[in-house]
Amino acid sequence: MKRVFSGMQPTGNLHLGNYIGALKQFIPLQEEAECFFCVVDLHALTIPRDPEDLRKKTLELAGLYLAAGLDPDKSTLFVQSHNPAHSEGAWLLQCVARMGELGRMTQFKDKGKGSESATAGLFTYPVLQAADILLYDTDIVPIGEDQKQHLELSRDLAERFNRQYGKVFTVPEPKIGKTGARVMGLDNPNKKMSKSADSSFNRIELLDDPDTIVKKFKRAVTDSENEIRYDPQNKPGISNLLDIYSEMSGESVDSLVERYQGKGYGHLKLDTADAVIQVLKPLQDRYRDVMESGEVKRVLAQGAERAREVSGNTLQKVQEAMGLVPRG
Ligand code: TYM
């Protein structure tokens, strides 16, 4: 059976990009693979956080995993810091990774902006991500497009390690959706939807209420034409709405384009909002139930145990291959 690993940072609030690009993809994989889904709290520390907020967001993200349909009987759900193998593995891989390749990571360049005060953790962040993935002998990593470069690095590190020390790691493949891998900001369809964008009109958050969702779609930036056509280059706003609508309703973009011929942008915006509400409303109801049930901590404790067991085997092979004396 194939292994799947993916993770999400417990920072800000999850938005439609995270849902369509990643979380929604996780659900069917549970039926065909052995899945590990992680709340990557150690990655969140690379930018200074309020400790209380980080704790809260970590549990909330686990609650959203469950509410979205991840099933703890089928998948292992856990918090990264509950398995010390990730930090240990990251150190060992830092001794394989090179300064040059880490310096070329676009996310570091965007977030660190070359600043002297960026944390060292932000620089080595992709190596921790590689440890996450490689310690589980992962075959497939479902992610949005913005994580492609990090996945390439994980593959490079696995291959280099195997060449240098003998074959230990499985070389993972990314799984990036054909549509929805890059959901764009509603206020600026030339940039991806993001937790850190200044305006809340940039994104639909998974816990937004229906009125807010409608309001945000009504304000979505489009263009000055009046034709509904799929053309991401020239009509990024309308194409983004069509992508979102299609992903949330299951209707193809082609069929939507045909159905909306001669209709106005306002119509498309309201119907897209409605398709989003149809998916998010039941998710939000389940989320409230999950958070009230106290189930989250139990699921995470059970997940951490399984995660430690599986990753521990690989970590031991790595340590031995690199020349560390086995622990007595
Ligand atoms: P993070 O927390 O930024 O995002 C979580 C997932 O959401 C995807 N995503 C998007 N997809 C489509 N459109 C968007 N606008 C959009 N914004 C975000 C991301 O691609 C990601 O799949 N470094 C990772 C977390 C991580 C990880 C891992 C992922 C740590 N270890 C191991 C996979 C495997 C991150 O910061 O994702």
Q: What is the CATH number of the domain that holds 141?
A: 3.40.50.620
In a domain, 193, yes or no: no
Q: Is residue 11 part of a domain?
A: yes
Q: Residue 140 corresponds to which tokens in the numbers above?
A: 């497939």
188 found inside a domain: no
Residue 111: what pLDDT? 78
Q: Are residues 157 and 24 in the same domain?
A: yes
Residue 327 placed within a domain? no
Query: What b/e sequence results for 96-129 when a residue is b if at least 16 CB atoms lie within 10 Å of its CB, and e otherwise?
Result: bbeeeebeebeebeebbeeeeeeeeebbbbbbbb
Q: Are residues 31 and 159 in the same domain?
A: yes
Find out whether 57 is annotated in a ligand binding site.
no
Based on the fold, state whether residues 168 and 317 are members of the same structural domain: yes
Are both 308 and 217 inside the same structural domain? no
Check residue 62 and give its pLDDT: 98
Query: What CATH number is associated with residue 272?
Result: 1.10.240.10
Question: Could you tell me if 280 and 312 lie in one domain?
Answer: no
By the 10 Å C-beta count (0-12 exposed, 13-18 middle, 19+ buried), 320 is classed as middle
- Region for residue 197 given its phi and psi (left: phi exceeds 0; alpha: psi -120 to 50; beta: otherwise): beta
pLDDT (tens digit per residue) in 290-300: 999 999 999 99
How many A from CA of 297 to the centre of ligand 1? 23
Residue showing tokens 């706003």? 237
- Percent of the chain at pLDDT exceeding 90: 93
The reply to whether 254 sits in an annotated binding site is no
Domain-located, residue 192: no
What is the tens place of the pLDDT at every residue in 228-260? Answer: 999 999 999 999 999 999 999 999 999 999 999
* Per-residue confidence (pLDDT) for residue 108, from 0 to 100: 86
Cα(188)–Cα(103) distance, integer angstroms: 28
Q: Which residues of the chain have pLDDT under 50?
A: none
CB 277 within 8 A of CB 250: no
Same domain, yes or no: 76 and 42: yes
Report the nearest atom of ligand 1 relative to the CA of 128. 31
3-class DSSP string for 32-68? HCEEEEEECHHHHCCCCCCHHHHHHHHHHHHHHHHHH
Distance CA 100, CA 111 (A): 17
Size of the chain in residues: 328
236/244 Cα distance (integer angstroms): 12
Are residue 72 and residue 115 in the same domain, yes or no?
Answer: yes
Question: By residue range, what is the domain housing residue 234?
Answer: 200-287
Find out whether the beta carbon of 147 lies less than 6 Å from any atom of ligand 1: yes
User: What pLDDT sits at residue 327?
Assistant: 83
The number of folded domains in the chain is 2
Tokens of 154: 């994980």
Ligand 1 binding pocket includes 176 (Cβ within 6 Å): no
Task: Kindly state whether residues 36 and 113 are assigned to the same domain.
Answer: yes
CA distance 239 to 235: 6
- With a 6 Å cutoff on the Cβ, whether 141 touches ligand 1 is yes
For residues 203 and 17, is the Cβ–Cβ distance under 8 A? yes
Q: How far is the CA of 219 from the centre of ligand 1 (A)?
A: 26
| Among candidate residues 90, 124, 89, 86, the one with its CA nearest the CA of residue 108 | 124
Instruction: DSSP for 200-261, please give it.
Output: GGG--BTT--HHHHHHHHHT----S-------TTT-HHHHHHHHHHHHHH---HHHHHHHTT
The answer on 209 and 151 residing in a single domain is: no
In a shared domain, residues 300 and 244: no
With respect to residue 282, please indicate whether it lies within any of the assigned structural domains.
yes
The whole-number pLDDT of residue 114 equals 67
Say what the pLDDT of residue 256 is.
98
What average pLDDT is seen over the chain?
96
The answer to whether 78 touches 40, Cβ cutoff 8 Å, is: no
Dist. CA 44–CA 60, nearest whole Å: 14
- Candidates 146, 148, 184, 192: which one to mutate for ligand 1, based on the most atoms within 8 Å of Cβ? 146
Which of 295, 294, 238 lies closest to 269, judged by CA? 238
Q: Is residue 195 part of a domain?
A: no
11-269-288 Cα angle (round to 5): 40
Question: Do residues 179 and 243 make contact, with C-beta atoms less than 8 angstroms apart?
Answer: yes
| pTM given for the model | 0.96
The rounded Å distance from CA 326 to ligand 1 centre is: 35
59 & 158 share domain: yes
Cβ neighbors of 151 (< 8 A, separation 6 or more) are 133, 141, 143, 172, 174
Same domain, 91 and 212: no
Domain membership flag for residue 46: yes
